[in-house]
């Protein structure tokens, strides 16, 4: 299924060609149940739902977890992309539209729910720190996870440990962002390497950015 990644006039972690590369990975595996850790403004969530609803005739689920402004437990995390602090845009029209007309915080459950409203029966948005909430979620049916939340060593290890515990030996996919030099975060790379080594997992490196684990 060829679908172009749309920005929905919001900020996304997957700018330019990266959104389409992500969608290609997603459609490659044709998953039904997808988890995204780190939802930000919901653009990847929306594109994921657009794709899943087409490929699965609306029979799909999307779970998104983000701090959404709640407290984080792991203080070392690179938590707030600068944008989140004052919701600054380089485009002045967007600034007026979101900050003065709508007065909408784009990284909030309310705002992301609005963006995903046509999929309201298929989605679940969870507010919290994955160091605390991930272990409380039933992940047994997840086919594909996009891991793009907290970027500290401890959080990445925590998230991979819990995800792998539920997905192990099921030939499911964990796609991790910020591994390769195109979007390099040293702590993320180290955590993924250490985890893969400890569990004897092979990493597929996608376009010098994503590290993909097949469980
Ligand atoms: C890089 S952004 C995600 C981008 C998004 N995946 C996209 O494609 O647009 C990282 C997000 O992770 C969230 N985050 C950071 N630490 C977290 C944690 N420990 N638990 C849950 N979410 C976290 C932040 O609030 C932020 O919205």
Q: Which residue has the tokens 């990493």?
A: 203
* pLDDT computed for residue 58 by the predictor: 83
Rounded to whole angstroms, how far apart are CA atoms 53 and 46? 10
140 CA to middle of ligand 1, Å?
Answer: 22
Q: Over its length of 215 residues, how does the chain's per-residue pLDDT go in tens digits?
A: 679 999 999 999 999 999 999 999 999 999 999 999 999 999 999 999 999 999 998 899 999 999 997 665 655 665 555 666 677 888 899 888 888 888 888 999 999 999 999 999 999 999 999 999 999 999 999 999 999 999 999 999 999 999 999 999 999 999 999 999 999 999 999 999 999 999 999 999 999 999 999 99
Structure pTM?
Answer: 0.93
CATH code of residue 164: 3.40.50.150
Residues contacting ligand 1 via CB (< 6 Å)? 12-14, 36, 38, 40, 43-44, 65-67, 72, 74, 77, 79, 81, 107, 129-131, 148-150, 155
Count CB-CB contacts under 10 A for residue 140: 9
Residue nearest to atom 7 of ligand 1 (CA): 13
Q: What is the number of domains present in the chain? A: 1
Beta partners for residue 62, in sequence order: 34, 123
Angle 173-175-176 (CA atoms, 0-180°, nearest 5)? 145
Pure H helices in the chain: 17-29, 43-55, 82-86, 92-94, 109-115, 130-133, 153-167, 186-198
Q: Is residue 7 part of a domain?
A: no
Asked if residue 12 belongs to a domain, the reply is: no
Q: Considering the domain boundaries, does residue 31 fall inside one? A: yes
Tell how strand 173-176 and strand 144-147 pair up.
parallel
Residue 9, domain member (yes or no):
no
Write out the DSSP string of 111-166.
HHHHHTGGGTTTEEEEES-HHHHGGGS--TT--EEEE-S--SHHHHHHHHHHHHHH
Atom in ligand 1 nearest the alpha carbon of residue 66? 22
Residue 4 has a CB neighbour count (10 Å cut-off) of 9
Q: How far is the CA of 120 from the centre of ligand 1 (A)?
A: 21
Q: Which domain holds residue 91?
A: 17-214
CA of 173 to the centre of ligand 1 (A): 19
Please check whether residue 21 lies inside any domain of the structure. Answer: yes
Ligand 1 pocket test target in 36, 82, 149, 151 with most atoms within 8 Å of CB: 149
Structural domain includes residue 11: no
Tokens of 87: 């919701």
Residue 46 included in any domain: yes
């Amino acid at each position: 299924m060829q679908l172009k990644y749309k920005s929905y006039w919001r900020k996304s972690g997957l700018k330019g060609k990266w959104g389409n590369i992500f969608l290609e990975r997603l459609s490659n595996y044709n998953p039904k149940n997808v988890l995204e850790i780190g939802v930000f403004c919901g653009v990847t969530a929306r594109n994921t739902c657009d794709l899943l609803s087409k490929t699965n005739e609306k029979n799909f689920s999307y779970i998104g977890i983000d701090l959404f402004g709640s407290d984080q437990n792991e203080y070392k995390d690179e938590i707030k992309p600068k944008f989140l602090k004052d919701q600054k845009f380089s485009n002045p029209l967007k600034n007026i539209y979101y900050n003065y007309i709508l007065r909408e915080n784009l990284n909030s459950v309310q705002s992301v729910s609005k963006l995903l409203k046509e999929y309201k029966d298929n989605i679940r948005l969870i507010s919290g720190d994955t160091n605390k909430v991930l272990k409380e979620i039933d992940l047994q049916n997840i086919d594909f996870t996009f891991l793009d939340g907290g970027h500290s060593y401890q959080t990445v290890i925590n998230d991979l440990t819990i995800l792998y515990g539920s997905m192990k030996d099921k030939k499911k996919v964990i796609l991790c962002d910020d591994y390769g030099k195109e979007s390099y975060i040293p702590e993320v790379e180290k955590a993924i390497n250490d985890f893969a080594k400890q569990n004897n997992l092979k990493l597929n490196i996608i376009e010098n950015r994503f590290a993909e684990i097949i469980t």
